[in-house]
Amino acid sequence: MRVHMTMIAKRNTAILLLFACWTAVSIGAIFLRPLWPVDETRYVSVAWDMWLRGDFLVPHLNGEPYSHKPPLLFWLMHAGWAMFGVNDWWPRLISPLLALACVPLLKQLANRLWPDLPAVGEWSIWALFGTLLFALFITLTMFDMLLACIVLLGMLAVVQAAQGERRGLIWLGVAIGLGILAKGPVTLLHVLPAALVAPWWQVSLRSEPRRWYLGLLAALLLGAVIGLAWALPAAYFGGEVYRRAILWGQTAGRITESFAHRAPWWHYLPLLPVLLFPWLVCPTFWRGLRRQWADKGVRFILAWLIPVFVGFSLISGKQAKYLVPLMPGFALLAGFALSRAEAAQERIATVWPAFAYLAAGVALFYVPTNLQRFSLPDWASTLPQWPGFVLFAIAASLLPAARAPLQTGVRVLTFATWGLFTVALLGLVRPMVPYYDPGPTAQYLAALQARGVPVAYWGGYHAQFNFAGRLRQPLVILDDQSAPPWLLSHPTGRVVMMVRAEERAAHSAPEYEQPLRGFWVQVWDASAVPRFWFSR
């Protein structure tokens, strides 16, 4: 009894320490870095534009309807602003809180899939928070963690329904509807494949497949109703262009838009050892899955992961963030493998992860001292050397963990992942901030607007300054055709533009400039622009 209580106390202490890491990194990211342009700044600027307009139905960006994303993430930002006032920190806490919300859902799903293996739930939590890709997105203000949480809810609902609980179909419909409001119909790609092949992994459904598929159809209709409850009024009030964009662009149009990130079908395959680090490179993970492919829970996970992975591999546009909603499913698979390894009294093999941390440490020493060999931005020359020593220390700590009990080894690997992000936040991100922070320029533009000075932006604008400067008027967007008349009619106005380093060096000094994302953002008096910009 005393030994059992000691084990529970140690387990609770470890979970509390993991929660402390989550808290430190989540809060630290708010103070140590700005919202990154262009994605984070764009999404918060959409929420800011909606807040200013008092229009919570049709998303707007820089004064124009924004049809690229549904409104659920923006509504979550508004909910926090309604309680705490408009601030920077609430939008940046949403993803960490959603990551935390995955914990009870993950544990419930593990208990449903493997009721005779209660340890799988806890192992899955450690695997999820220790996986590199998932940990990376915990502090990013984007849609992917929101979709991951919703997909996890949907997959739990699928299992509940397959096990005969009627409420599971209701929750599946709710999850589909929320997913449509979060990121559009791509939710169906994440949720439906495993549900469609449910008789393969849930034998009891084979006797009444017709009833199962009718239930799925009902859940799908419920999800469509939830999604259309926003989409139809938004389409009506958003105008013809917006209506075509959300009713067509959120389906087939999303596929054509993906060509912006074109990559071959095998693009994700060589990235998997990095994205799923450290578990995928641990032999213990593979030994735990040996001869277990007939297990009902494993079959469910395969029905979840493989069709979605193949689908995203076949779509032309590819980004690592598209795979974030798959991470809870992978964590369940890892949790099952680790529970079997524990039952076999195995220990975690940490040699390959240790080697990876060692190689990363060497790279942090070598790259800043050999910048001439790499095409790196200016901030790379300011990188400190201490992160390399920390990575060496992490690598050294992993080697004795291979001889420790499995629980200790797994926890050390998870904490090593969080140590890696702490190093990145303090040692890598901080030198980048002056080159990626739109705040100084945004404040300068806000001061101009407060004085009544007209401000325009020349080129493609992603609203990276709107929320950062709390701009209350949209910037006028100029191109080569619209610029001449605007400059003539606003001689006291200001023009913002992004220029390359060689363009900056070739012309006289602007009124204001700042390095930003490998370019220089410059603010020019309208009367000075024609003397250099039209001669490009």
CA atoms within 13 A on the CB side of 294: 1
Name the pLDDT band for 501 (thresholds 50, 70, 90): confident
> Given pLDDT bands bounded at 50, 70 and 90, which one contains residue 82?
very high
pLDDT recorded at residue 534: 57
| Amino acid 387: pLDDT | 92
Whole-number pLDDT of residue 412: 95
**Which of 119-128, 253-262, 523-532 is the least confident region?**
253-262
Say if residues 250 and 228 touch (Cβ distance below 8 Å): no
- What's the whole-number mean pLDDT along residues 66-89? 97
Of the candidates 280, 3, 311, the residue with the CA atom closest to the CA atom of residue 130: 280
Which pLDDT does position 194 carry in this prediction? 98
CA angle 210, 201, 130 (to 5 degrees): 135
pLDDT at 256 over 80: no
At 441-478, the pLDDT tens digits run 999 999 999 999 999 999 999 999 999 999 999 999 99
Mean pLDDT of the 171-186 span: 97
Average pLDDT score over the chain: 91
Helix axes 72-84, 89-113, angle to 10 degrees: 120
Please give the full DSSP string across 424-477, using - where no structure is assigned: IIIIIIHHHHHHH--HHHHHHHHHHHHTT--EEEES----TTTTTTT-SSPPEE
Q: Which residue has the higher pLDDT, 467 or 290?
A: 467
pLDDT at 530: 57
Determine the average pLDDT of the residues in 152-161.
98
Residue 313 has a pLDDT of: 95
Rounded to an integer, the average pLDDT of 489-507 is: 86
d(CA 405, CA 101): 29
The domain spans of the chain are 18-343, 353-408+426-436, 439-535
| Token pair recorded at residue 383 | 């990188």
Q: Tokens at residue 497, please?
A: 């533009």
pLDDT category of residue 533 using cuts at 50, 70 and 90: low
Q: 2 or 502, which is more confident?
A: 502
Kindly state the average pLDDT of the residues 389-393: 94
What pLDDT, in 10s, does the model give residues 106-133? 999 999 999 999 999 999 999 999 999 9
- The answer to whether residues 170 and 222 touch, using CB atoms and an 8 Å cutoff, is yes
| 326 against 500, higher pLDDT | 326
pLDDT score, position 9: 55
pLDDT at 92: 97
Confidence (pLDDT) at 528: 83
**What pTM did the predictor assign?**
0.94
pLDDT at position 373 is: 75
pLDDT at 364: 86
d(CA 230, CA 242): 13
pLDDT of residue 3: 46
% of the chain residues with pLDDT over 70: 93
Name the band, by pLDDT with cuts 50, 70 and 90, for residue 249: low
Q: What is the pLDDT of residue 253?
A: 45
Model confidence band, residue 375 (pLDDT cutoffs 50, 70, 90): confident
The rounded distance, in Å, linking the Cα atoms of 326 and 151 is 8
Those residues whose C-beta lies under 8 Å from the C-beta of residue 142, and which sit 6 or more positions away, are 39, 40, 43, 95, 321
Distance of CA 408 to the CA centre of its chain: 29
* Highest mean pLDDT pick, 166-180, 376-390, 499-513: 166-180
Please report the pLDDT score of residue 357 as a whole number: 96
- Quickly list H helices, 117-208: 119-130, 132-137, 144-162, 167-183, 186-196, 198-201
Q: What is the pLDDT, as a whole number, of residue 120?
A: 96
Over range 372-395, report the average pLDDT: 84
